[in-house]
Amino acid sequence: MEIAFPFRYFTDNGFDVDIVTPKGGKAAVYHSGKISDELAQIQGSKSFVEKTQNTLPAGKIRSTDYAAIYYPGGHGQYWDVIPDVRIAAAAAAIHESGGVIGAAGHGTASLVNVRLSDGRYLVENKRMTCFPWWAEKQWMNISDYGKLLPFDMQEELLKRMANLVVSTKETMNDKSLVLVSDDANRLVTGSFASSAKPVAAEMHRLLIANKAAAAPRPATGT
């Protein structure tokens, strides 16, 4: 759901979408348990299958071709995406050119090492959220409840001076804590896998706002 729902949302709203992986080729798309009819429809669609079976290699993308970058979740981010300096550089360049950055669930970990051209971390002073460490320790048997992960993203984001808003067990249904949009810095983050579609919708809103702000203003006279 963390890639399928945003993919459908963006394509339904007229955007061209590319899927990028470090090496290109077939993406590791997976899910756990039974999936909804809506999700099954997306995953079986010709466009989704084509894009996920033929991802672009990170070394062959041009950041100038993109208005936004979205990071889906999944623990593979820790070993495949985070160490890839090409993907990090593309994210930084897209952001510095006025583009929008989005992430849901564990995808937010991919922002930890992204640096801007002045050397600062992209997340510095940005209002954002992430997948909570308490949830990792209680829910994620796939990571042996955090023991297999190379770092705690919540802790690392704080080290990089992110303005972090973390959902607790008591507040996990509070939309303002599960979905955080830093409009001024064009950054949208969601705490959980279920945040993926709302993150895409917020990114779309910011992309529309960016386009309107960049449009030529009509001449006015007295």
pLDDT band for 152, please (50, 70, 90 cuts): very high
Mean pLDDT lowest among 76-90, 99-113, 162-176, 202-216: 202-216
Higher pLDDT, 135 or 177: 135
Q: How many whole angstroms separate alpha carbon 214 and alpha carbon 193?
A: 32
pLDDT band for 212, please (50, 70, 90 cuts): low
Helix axes 46-53, 4-12, angle to 10 degrees: 120
Coil, strand or helix: which one is 13? coil
Q: How many whole angstroms separate alpha carbon 93 and alpha carbon 60?
A: 15
Amino acid code (one letter) for 59:
G
3-state DSSP helix/strand/coil percent for the chain, to nearest 5?
Answer: 45, 15, 40
- How many CA atoms lie within 13 Å of 200's alpha carbon, on the beta-carbon side? 20
Q: How many whole angstroms separate alpha carbon 31 and alpha carbon 170?
A: 26
